[in-house]
């Protein structure tokens, strides 16, 4: 897990939730009209208003064809599930500024904040929190190639963090025992912008949460970790001390439910399950290949990837062959999409070494794998299952799904099935399956790699489109 603590002792947490609900229920009985007023208005108007931060972890306006077009982000999706849980619509108020969000919360413009906020002592003095759903650590980062700092005493340059963040609060605490520690707080830049300033040499260090670091290193691999400046901190949604207790009670109940039914685990896997490990060389090599190799083959991926997403097709091809038309393996698969001879014949491919034919065949075969998945399985799990089938075969995937169901897991959730696929390598399991032994760890790594490549390629593609739009607009103004 990217997060350092995924609520390891659910029994204790659930007990606390039950106690909290009982206490709050008691409060309601004393003054039900006053305590439930805000919640009643929320229900009456028909929507929940959430305050959040712009960014890949919380809320982004750029979705994709796998996660869905439009809005995306871990916090956004979790807030949407909360609104659905209440049978209400969701209204999002997004900002680049924590200060602005705190004001909106206290003035009642938003009902709560969902923005990856740590529970800190200072914040507890001003706000209340729903049950924690994850924990993250704080990392001090620097630019690859510079001297790595291993503790606070090694800091020799400019350290900049976002004002009123948990990072700033932590530095204030550390300064009590390290009086020479200095830093700059800014309300102008968010965490991703600070990473860009770091890479451009405008600052030497910044702090970032472990989950945000994992996401951003796919795009900025030169961001390196110096040391962990603070161990696990719980994350939670924030509510105003002036808000009514009914809102908090509903949050307590909601998080108890999503912890218990696996919804939170599945959402965590969707956004972070494939990026737990980071390889600097691999990431740099891929980004370079996007710049140098991909332009030659991109028209082909676009031509044959229209029904899925050409960027996903390109990610599959990179995982298979690193975009080498004459690639081959000892198992007999060959070409851009590494097709077997039998699969190539089934797909109507005459030459596996012809780049366009291989891409056409691989696209056709992958679409066939998607079509084989039960209709009840939604995206993105449907896509991950299809990728696993492309690698290990549909029969072996089904064997793993059956084992998952037998063990009480959900056979339609990738997060459950991927933990059972490696069991196909153990005789006590595969001897009871229809298709027998399989190297079950391989499809898990296979899917994770393609997901990373796809995310990076999607980000680079969107960035390129934005730059072209800006360039075109500037040209029009100059003319």
Could you report the per-residue pLDDT of 133-143, keeping only the tens digit for each? 999 999 999 99
Do 10-132+236-272 and 135-233 share a fold? yes
- Residues of the chain with pLDDT > 70, as a percent, come to 88
For residue 351, give the nearest of 334, 367, 369, 368 by alpha carbon.
334
Could you report the per-residue pLDDT of 307-333, keeping only the tens digit for each? 889 999 999 999 999 999 999 988 889
Could you report the per-residue pLDDT of 12-30, keeping only the tens digit for each? 444 344 434 444 444 333 3
pLDDT mean over 72-91: 94
- The answer to whether domain 280-454 has CATH 3.40.50.720 is no
What is the predicted pLDDT for the residue at 479?
A: 58
CATH topology of domain 10-132+236-272: D-Maltodextrin-Binding Protein; domain 2 (3.40.190)
Q: Is the pLDDT of residue 125 over 70?
A: yes
What is the predicted pLDDT for the residue at 190?
A: 85
Could you report the per-residue pLDDT of 334-383, keeping only the tens digit for each? 999 999 999 999 999 999 999 999 999 999 999 999 999 999 999 999 99
Alpha-carbon span 302 to 320, nearest angstrom: 18
Residue among 109, 134, 320, 467 flagged as catalytic: 320
What is the predicted pLDDT for the residue at 474?
A: 56
390 band by pLDDT with thresholds 50, 70 and 90:
very high
Q: Report the half-sphere exposure of 212 (CA within 13 A, side-chain side).
A: 28
pLDDT mean over 223-245: 92
- The angle at the Cα of 136, spanning 132 to 142, to the nearest 5 degrees, equals 155
Burial 204-220 (b: 16+ CB within 10 A, else e): bbbbbbbbbbbbbbbbb
What is the predicted pLDDT for the residue at 67?
A: 55
Could you report the per-residue pLDDT of 89-107, keeping only the tens digit for each? 999 999 988 889 999 999 9
250 band by pLDDT with thresholds 50, 70 and 90:
very high
Q: Report the half-sphere exposure of 416 (CA within 13 A, side-chain side).
A: 18
Between 60 and 52, name the one with better pLDDT: 52
Residue 320: active-site member: yes
Between 295 and 7, name the one with better pLDDT: 295
285 band by pLDDT with thresholds 50, 70 and 90:
very high
478 band by pLDDT with thresholds 50, 70 and 90:
low
71 band by pLDDT with thresholds 50, 70 and 90:
confident
Between 35 and 406, name the one with better pLDDT: 406
Q: Is the pLDDT of residue 31 over 80?
A: no
CATH topology of domain 135-233: D-Maltodextrin-Binding Protein; domain 2 (3.40.190)
Q: Per-domain residue ranges for the chain? A: 10-132+236-272, 135-233, 280-454
Alpha-carbon span 191 to 207, nearest angstrom: 8
161 band by pLDDT with thresholds 50, 70 and 90:
very high
Q: Is the pLDDT of residue 9 over 50?
A: no
* Alpha-carbon separation of residue 461 from 55, 68, 191, 229 (angstroms): 17, 16, 21, 34
């Amino acid at each position: 897990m990217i997060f350092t603590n995924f609520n390891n002792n659910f029994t204790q947490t659930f007990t606390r939730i039950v106690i909290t609900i009982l206490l709050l229920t008691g409060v309601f009985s004393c003054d039900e009209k006053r305590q439930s007023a805000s919640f009643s208005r929320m229900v009456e108007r028909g929507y929940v208003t959430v305050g959040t931060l712009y960014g890949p972890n919380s809320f982004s306006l750029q979705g994709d064809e796998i996660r869905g077009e439009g809005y995306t982000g871990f916090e956004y999706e979790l807030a949407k599930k909360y609104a659905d849980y209440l049978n209400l619509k969701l209204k999002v108020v997004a900002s680049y500024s924590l200060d602005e969000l705190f004001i909106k919360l206290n003035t009642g413009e938003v009902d709560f904040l969902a923005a990856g906020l740590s529970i800190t002592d200072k914040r507890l003095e001003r706000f209340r929190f729903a049950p924690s759903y994850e924990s993250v650590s704080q990392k001090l980062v620097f630019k690859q190639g510079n001297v790595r700092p291993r503790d606070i005493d090694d800091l020799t340059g400019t350290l900049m963090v976002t004002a009123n963040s948990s990072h700033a609060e932590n530095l204030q605490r550390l300064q009590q025992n390290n009086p020479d520690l200095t830093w700059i707080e800014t309300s102008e830049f968010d965490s991703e912008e600070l990473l860009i300033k770091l890479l451009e040499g405008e600052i030497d260090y910044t702090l970032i949460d472990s989950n945000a670091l994992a996401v951003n290193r796919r795009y900025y691999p030169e961001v390196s970790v110096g040391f962990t400046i603070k161990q696990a901190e719980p994350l939670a949604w924030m509510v105003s001390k002036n808000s009514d207790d009914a809102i908090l009670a509903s949050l307590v109940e909601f998080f108890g439910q999503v912890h218990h039914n696996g919804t939170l685990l599945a959402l965590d896997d969707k956004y972070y399950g494939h990026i737990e490990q980071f390889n600097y060389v691999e990431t740099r090599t891929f980004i370079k290949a996007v710049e140098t190799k991909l332009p030659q083959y991109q028209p082909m991926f676009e031509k044959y990837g229209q029904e899925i997403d050409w960027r996903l097709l390109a990610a599959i091809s990179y995982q298979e062959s690193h975009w080498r038309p004459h690639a081959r393996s000892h198992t007999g698969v060959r070409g851009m999409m590494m097709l077997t001879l039998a699969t190539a014949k089934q797909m109507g491919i005459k030459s596996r070494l012809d780049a366009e034919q291989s891409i056409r065949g691989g696209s056709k075969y992958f679409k066939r794998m998607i079509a084989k998945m039960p209709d009840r399985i939604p995206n993105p799990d449907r896509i991950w299952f299809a990728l696993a089938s492309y690698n290990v075969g549909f029969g072996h995937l089904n064997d793993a799904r059956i084992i998952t169901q037998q063990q009480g897991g959900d056979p339609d959730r990738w997060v459950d099935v991927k933990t059972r696929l490696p069991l196909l390598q153990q005789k006590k399991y595969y001897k009871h399956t229809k298709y027998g032994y399989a190297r079950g760890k391989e499809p898990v790594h296979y899917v994770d790699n393609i997901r990373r490549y796809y995310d990076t390629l999607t980000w680079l593609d969107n960035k390129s489109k934005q730059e072209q739009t800006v360039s075109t607009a500037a040209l029009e103004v100059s003319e």
